[in-house]
């Protein structure tokens, strides 16, 4: 019995690694595409939305049970998700894969800051120190890019804005996520994000169809591999592994993306950026670790209060 449990644990851990690799490819696919940022985001969300509609359709009777608070929460989450993709994908047009993905790994720290200002959720001294370490690492990454070029630093700013909106997406959706089924929630926020990205495409007067075959393949891969495959695997392993373990994959995404960028794009990481990345990921790790230990010592309220289970459920949808 113990051996069977151990084998299952290993299998689900292996699936978790595959999920991390799937979402790590997101920044690589974006870098390879020559399409404008808003167009990349639009087709990624559009294809993903269309593919999950059949699953959400089976839950259509649940829509009548949603409250106005749930609908407003879902609407805000969809808008914030759209803005996340606007700024994060744009960041990859200016800065390196390593800088962009490292900065986006700040999501749980910014969620905690947002929960403090919006809901009065306090951080203990260890969590505050971890946040400070992560922000110092982010500053070092930004300083390195500022020395390289103004464009690279501008990309870092876009990545940070994308991270802020990813955090707002988590905070906006945390309450609705406890009342709404997975497919209904995802098709709703993906569709709203698609509309926002379409509006951004119209504002910038970007062409809708005049793209190479390679670009269309990349749009499809972003939807299938980085969004749906990664998302499905995360949801699967979350049922079998602790949320604290799944949330730690936030640290694996930038590492996987940096390795893939080196192998596929010949992008090297500068030593200052590497030091900043180590500081940043150390801070995020300590924050998640301390949050996990704190959660384990408190009784569960099942309130969807933005804890590790919420982070684990949401971060694979932003994946960068």
Q: Identify whether 69 is part of a domain.
A: yes
Q: Identify whether 139 is part of a domain.
A: yes
- What gap in Å lies between CA 174 and CA 70, rounded to an integer? 10
pLDDT (mean) for 229-236: 74
Indicate the DSSP class of residue 241.
S
Cα–chain center distance at 109: 13
Q: Identify whether 320 is part of a domain.
A: no
Q: Identify whether 3 is part of a domain.
A: no
Contact 58, 161 (CB under 8 A): no
Residue indicated by tokens 């990813």? 166
Q: Identify whether 150 is part of a domain.
A: yes
Q: What is the pLDDT of residue 223?
A: 93
Cα angle value 41/45/46 (rounded, 5°): 115
Q: What is the pLDDT of residue 16?
A: 79
Write the pLDDT tens digit of every residue in 255-294.
888 888 888 988 888 888 888 888 888 887 887 776 655 5
Q: Which residue has the higher pLDDT, 20 or 42?
A: 42
- Tokens matching residue 86: 């606007």
- What gap in Å lies between CA 281 and CA 104, rounded to an integer? 11
3-state secondary structure at position 215: helix
Q: Identify whether 208 is part of a domain.
A: yes
What are the residues whose beta carbons fall under 8 Å from the beta carbon of 319, sequence distance 6 or more? 23, 26, 226, 227, 230, 253
- What gap in Å lies between CA 205 and CA 39, rounded to an integer? 10
Indicate the DSSP class of residue 1.
-
Is the pTM higher than 0.85?
no
Q: What is the pLDDT of residue 199?
A: 96
Q: What is the pLDDT of residue 268?
A: 84
Q: What is the pLDDT of residue 296?
A: 46
pLDDT (mean) for 194-216: 95
pLDDT of 295 > 70? The answer is: no
pLDDT of 218 > 90? The answer is: yes
Q: What is the pLDDT of residue 243?
A: 59
Local confidence band at 318 (pLDDT 50, 70, 90 cut-offs): low
Q: What is the pLDDT of residue 302?
A: 40
**Residue range of the domain that includes 144:** 34-314
pLDDT of 49 > 60? The answer is: yes
Number of folded domains in the chain? Answer: 1
Q: Identify whether 19 is part of a domain.
A: no
Percent of the chain whose predicted confidence (pLDDT) is above 90: 30
- H or E segment to which residue 79 belongs: helix 68-91
């Amino acid at each position: 019995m113990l051996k069977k449990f151990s084998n299952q644990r290993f299998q689900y851990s292996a699936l978790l690694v595959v999920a991390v690799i799937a979402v790590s490819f997101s920044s690589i696919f974006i870098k390879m595409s020559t399409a404008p940022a808003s167009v990349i985001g639009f087709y990624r969300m559009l294809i993903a939305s269309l593919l999950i509609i059949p699953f959400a359709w089976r839950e259509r009777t649940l829509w009548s049970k949603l409250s106005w608070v749930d609908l407003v929460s879902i609407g805000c989450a969809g808008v914030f998700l759209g803005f996340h993709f606007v700024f994060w994908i744009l960041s990859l047009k200016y800065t390196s894969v390593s800088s962009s993905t490292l900065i986006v790994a700040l999501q749980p720290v910014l969620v905690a800051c947002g929960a403090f200002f919006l809901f009065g959720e306090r951080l203990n001294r260890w969590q505050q120190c971890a946040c400070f370490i992560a922000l110092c690492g982010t500053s070092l990454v930004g300083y390195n890019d500022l020395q390289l070029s103004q464009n690279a630093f501008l990309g870092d700013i876009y990545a940070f804005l994308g991270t802020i909106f990813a955090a707002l997406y988590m905070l906006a959706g945390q309450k609705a996520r406890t009342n709404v089924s997975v497919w209904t929630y995802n098709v709703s926020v993906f569709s709203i994000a698609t509309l926002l990205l379409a509006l951004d495409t119209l504002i910038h007067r970007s062409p809708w169809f005049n793209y190479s075959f390679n670009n269309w393949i990349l749009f499809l891969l972003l939807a299938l591999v980085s969004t749906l495959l990664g998302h499905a695997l995360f949801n699967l392993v979350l049922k079998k592994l602790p949320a604290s373990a799944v949330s730690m994959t936030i640290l694996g995404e930038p590492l996987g993306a940096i390795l893939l960028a080196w192998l596929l794009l010949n992008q090297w990481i500068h030593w200052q950026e590497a030091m900043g990345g180590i500081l940043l990921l150390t801070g995020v790790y300590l924050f998640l670790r301390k949050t996990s230990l704190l959660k384990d010592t408190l009784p569960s309220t099942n309130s969807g209060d933005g804890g590790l289970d919420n982070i684990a459920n949401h971060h694979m949808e932003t994946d960068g």
